[in-house]
Amino acid sequence: MSPADTAKPAKAASKPAAKPAVKAASKAKSKPKAKTAAIKTRKAVAPKIKAAQNLDIADHQETVGKSFSDNAKMTMRNINVYYGDKQAIYDVSIDIAKNEVMAMIGPSGCGKSTFLRTLNRMNDTVEVCRVEGDICMDGENLYAPKLDVVELRARVGMVFQKPNPFPKSIYENVAYGPKIHGLADSRVDLDEIVENSLRKASLWEEVKERLHQPGTGLSGGQQQRLCIARAIAVSPEVILMDEPCSALDPIATAKIEELIEELSENFTIAIVTHSMQQAARVSHRTAYFHLGKLIEVNPTEQVFTMPQHQLTEAYITGRFG
């Protein structure tokens, strides 16, 4: 944590002014006015270690823990997301390191899925959604006007909450990406990509006999692994997973978790989950979101054994969420 420490004092000084007005508010409500004032005074980014411990969420401005990485694949700085007039994400800054599994946890509606969807610009499809801040992958700004969204999404794959195989055969589902991106020169190439992807998603053995049957005929867990195979067929660099196991039974979940473990050797993975056990099992670092703010980022073990922030602690001990 190099630049962070230097930036801290200046920021800490600017903070108290905003606090008292905010304090009175109830926990559930955020104060746009006081907050924007605070955001303006804040320049660089910094992980804040202490001092936030006894604060209410309303005046929480700092992310505690280690948000940043020296080996960052994706860097997000001061991200604000709005749906129309409603702000969903408040000033979030975080890095996702190469080949790391980053888990994002938090109560429902805390903005973790919204945040995830900004990483491959899936929020572009929502008309009223507006994203501010810098999101870079390997130093390249993802929201630059010249950037090709289509190419970006090929580099940042996504797996959704509910398995959503296309109403096509298993083979066609996996071949979909390679076909539209022209990754295969011949039928043989394509067969190979399909097989490799299915193998990587540990689905090959189960479906190799029925590649040309509809993907929708598979079980829920198989469908989700098919979606993962589909995502990795275009060799993305990052895979985003939005609660990939929330619609699955424990056995299918265990398979997917095992798979995430294996995939992290080749891919950078960001996973949103409702299950703290799952976050604890699969991730290297965990980010805790609360009401659109990033509260704490720390190595997973630390988050679940000795959380730095009282909100994180309250959440992982099940006091709310």
- In contact, 45 and 64? CB cutoff 8 Å: no
Q: Which CB atom, from 207 or from 227, has the smaller least distance to other proteins?
A: 227
Is the Cα dihedral 303, 309, 312, 313 positive or negative?
positive
Q: Which CB atom, from 90 or from 267, has the smaller least distance to other proteins?
A: 267
277 class by beta-carbon count within 10 Å (0-12 exposed, 13-18 middle, 19+ buried): exposed
306 class by beta-carbon count within 10 Å (0-12 exposed, 13-18 middle, 19+ buried): exposed
Q: Which CB atom, from 5 or from 189, has the smaller least distance to other proteins?
A: 189
Residue 24 binding other proteins, by CB under 8 A:
no
Q: Which CB atom, from 154 or from 248, has the smaller least distance to other proteins?
A: 154
Beta bridge partners of 240: 158, 270
Return left, alpha or beta for 224; rule: phi > 0 is left, psi -120 to 50 is alpha, else beta.
alpha
Shortest CB 39 distance to other proteins, Å? 30
Residue 146 binding other proteins, by CB under 8 A:
no
Q: Which CB atom, from 126 or from 306, has the smaller least distance to other proteins?
A: 126
Shortest CB 160 distance to other proteins, Å? 6
One of 26, 54, 108, 125 touching other proteins (CB under 8 A): 125
Shortest CB 52 distance to other proteins, Å? 35
Residue 231 binding other proteins, by CB under 8 A:
yes
CA dihedral 287, 245, 319, 15 (to 10 degrees): 20
Angstrom distances, CA of residue 281 to CA of 31, 71, 138: 35, 22, 27
Site string for other proteins, 153-192 (x = CB under 8 A): xxx-xx-x-x-xxxxx-------xx--xx-----------
Number of residues that bind other proteins (CB under 8 A): 29
Q: Which residues contact 213 (CB under 8 A, 6 or more apart)?
A: 169, 170
Residue 140 binding other proteins, by CB under 8 A:
no
Residue 234 binding other proteins, by CB under 8 A:
yes
Q: Report the alpha-carbon distance of residue 24 to residue 44 in Å, rounded.
A: 28
Which residues of the shown chain bind other proteins in the complex (CB under 8 A)?
120, 122, 125, 127, 150-155, 157-158, 160, 162, 164-168, 176-177, 180-181, 214, 216, 227, 230-231, 234
